[in-house]
A = this chain, B = another copy of it.
């Protein structure tokens, strides 16, 4: 439950980074692991809850890309669009967990198909908004994202993670 008793549709944790590397395909017999890399920018961990629908996506995209959570070399914080910085979206179903005794329960998480659909839409709409922004696009910044359902093997290098929780 969010403030005022409203149901939460999605939970995000945000960290700024100087560099991040995320495994997007684990190694197998025939090939090595594949990785997605970003440089200076924003890491977005995301989890969707039961009852979330498409309507939440545009609001999430607008907020995540426009809230001033990134530190430039000097001066006040700016958005990742204005930095302009890279973006790494990491599916993280564990964020929906609640402590129950000594274990965690995930009863409120979106089902796998629904979660994957919402995650895909979030990535696609972020990509669209980022590429539509001339400053961001011309800076050569990139959006990368993890593979839904995979283990998110992650390395992170920060100058201060500046961790925030934002729920929708």
Contacts and interface: CB of A to CB of B under 8 A. Distances in A.
Interface of A: 1, 3-5, 11, 13, 45, 63, 66-69, 77, 79, 90, 92, 94-95, 97, 99, 102-104, 151-166
A155 B84 CA distance: 22
The 4 A-B pairs of least Cβ separation, nearest first, read A156-B156, A151-B160, A154-B158, A92-B163
Nearest to A162: B94
Contacts of A159: 151, 153
Contact of A95 (B90, B94, B158, B165): B165
Contacts of A102: 66-68, 79
A69 B3 CA distance: 26
11 contacts: A1-B3, A5-B5, A13-B13, A45-B161, A77-B103, A90-B161, A94-B163, A94-B164, A95-B164, A151-B160, A154-B160
A165 B117 CA distance: 23
Contacts of A155: 156-158
A158 B166 contact: no
Contacts of A164: 94-95, 97, 104
